[in-house]
Structure formats: structure tokens, C-alpha cells
Structure 1
Amino acid sequence: MAGFKKFLMQGNLVQLAVAFVIGAAFSTVVKAFTAMIMDLIGKLGGTPNFSSYQPGGVHVGDFITAVITFVIVAAVIYFGVVKPYEAYRERFAKEEEAEVKEIDILAEIRDELRAR
């Protein structure tokens, strides 16, 4: 039983569970945003759902709707999650790199002093 408890409390498993829950909650937000964008596109084009579009009897409308939805979801993820995360990493990763460089310099000084 102790091994199972250790497995459940591993950092990776907990992080994965949190990511899953946050992703599910974020999915609702993205779906609502996508519906809003599709309504705006529909106001421009005359129909918010392209599913009924069938030129020559080929069901192209479902594909067009899926592609537009994918592009909107990808844009929301990129601009809402990826870009802010990259900005955060750039801002705070420099401090970590500076610490590493300082340690490296001190190690070099130590090695030179030992060599004398």
C-alpha cells in the first residue's frame, strides 16, 4: 500500500491531474469563444454553421467548420497560454542563468587559485 501511495503522490502524476482538470475547464472557455467567433463569421457570411454547405453533393461544410474551429482553438491556446508562458520564462529564466554564470565564474577562480 505504501508503494501505491508513493506512486499517487509523485509530482508528475499530480501535475498531470491538475493539467487535465485545468484543460477540461479551459475547454469550456474555448468552446464558448469559438461559438462567439463562429457567430461573428456567420453574420459576415450569412450562416454561422457551414455544415449544410454541400457543393456538388460533397459534404465540405463539416470540414470547413472543423478547420475554422481548430484555427480558433489554436490561436486561443497560442496567444492565451504559450505566449504568456514564454514571456514568463524569458523574464525569470534570466535570473537563474545569472546564478549559474556566477557559480561558474567562482568555480573558475577557485580552480585557478588551486593551480597556483
Structure 2
Amino acid sequence: MKGFRNFILRGNVVDLAVGIVIGAAFTAVVNGFVGAFLTPLVGLATGAAGDMSHKSFTVGAARFPYGSFINPAISFLLLATALYFLVVLPINKLHDRLAPHQDVQAPKRDCPECLSPVPAEARRCASCTVPLPDVPAQAAVETQRVG
């Protein structure tokens, strides 16, 4: 029971629970905004003023209630946009600032036996395992400039 208590009280689980509750509240706010403001604007733009949630069309005997799809679609797009700009983009920028990518390439030279690129300081080729000749200091500097 102590292990379960430690798991529940761990910061990640509590943070996740708080995030879910806030996300549900935010979803309700966005759904209310979409229903109260955006759906009527879409209705005005398309010439179908009023509540669009009851709009539908019929093909044969099948009824397609496209109006009940419009509110959730707009809500999804708003939620996705808000999450991207308020969560994903700032986290990515913070991650890039704190942990920048530094692809440092070691100077390379070609193996005389198999012509595979190997680090200039290597003593043996990783591909064919042939011992490599030593590179004089000046040649290593030139290899570094070329590579």
C-alpha cells in the first residue's frame, strides 16, 4: 500500500490530474464560445442565420445532420490551435533555448582500403577494421578544413 501511495503522491500523477481537470474546464469554455459566437457567425457567413446545430440534408431515406458536426469541428480546431500556441510552441521554444542541438562533426578522412569516411583521429577503420596510417598534425588541420 505504501508503494501505491508514493505513486499517487508523485508529482507527475498529481500534475496530470490537475491538467485533466483544467482541460475539461477549458473545453467547456471553448464549447460555450463556439456555440454562442462562432457558430452564429458561420451561419451568417453561409446565409443560414441562427442555430446551425439542427441543419441537415436528406439523400433518399437517409438524413445527414451536418449541423451537429459543425460545433464540435470548430471546437476541436479552436482547442487544437489554443493548445499549440499556448502549450506546444512555448515548450518547444523553451526546450530549444535550454538544450540547443549541437551537431559537432568530427573531422573525417577516407579509409585507404574501403574508402569509408572515418574520423581523422581514428587508428582503425570501423567498416573494414584495417589499421589506418597516422595523420601528421598539418594534414589533420587540412582534413578538418575540407570536411
TM-score, with normalisation over the residues of structure 1?
0.66
User: Number of residue pairs matched?
Assistant: 100
- 2:60 matched to 1:51? no
Distance in 1 (alpha carbons) for counterparts of 2:55 and 2:77: 25
Moved more, 78-87 or 50-59: 50-59
Greater helix proportion: 1
Deviation at 1:60, TM superposition (A): 1.0
Task: Give the 5 Å matches for 1:9-48.
Answer: 9-35=9-35, 36-43=37-44, 44-48=47-51
Greater strand proportion: 2
Task: Give the 5 Å matches for 1:74-93.
Answer: 74-93=76-95
Indicate how the Cα distance of structure 1 residues 4 and 21 shifts in structure 2: closer, same or farther if over 3 A, else same: same
Give RMSD over aligned pairs.
2.7
Indicate how the Cα distance of structure 1 residues 87 and 20 shifts in structure 2: closer, same or farther if over 3 A, else same: closer
Q: Where does structure 1 lack aligned partners over 5 or more consecutive residues?
A: 105-116
Residue identity in the other structure for 2:76? A
Residue identity in the other structure for 1:53? S
After superposing on structure 2, the runs of 4+ consecutive aligned residues of structure 1 that deviate more than 3 Å are none
Instruction: Give percent identity, aligned residues only.
Output: 24
TM-score, with normalisation over the residues of structure 2?
0.54
Indicate how the Cα distance of structure 1 residues 94 and 41 shifts in structure 2: closer, same or farther if over 3 A, else same: closer
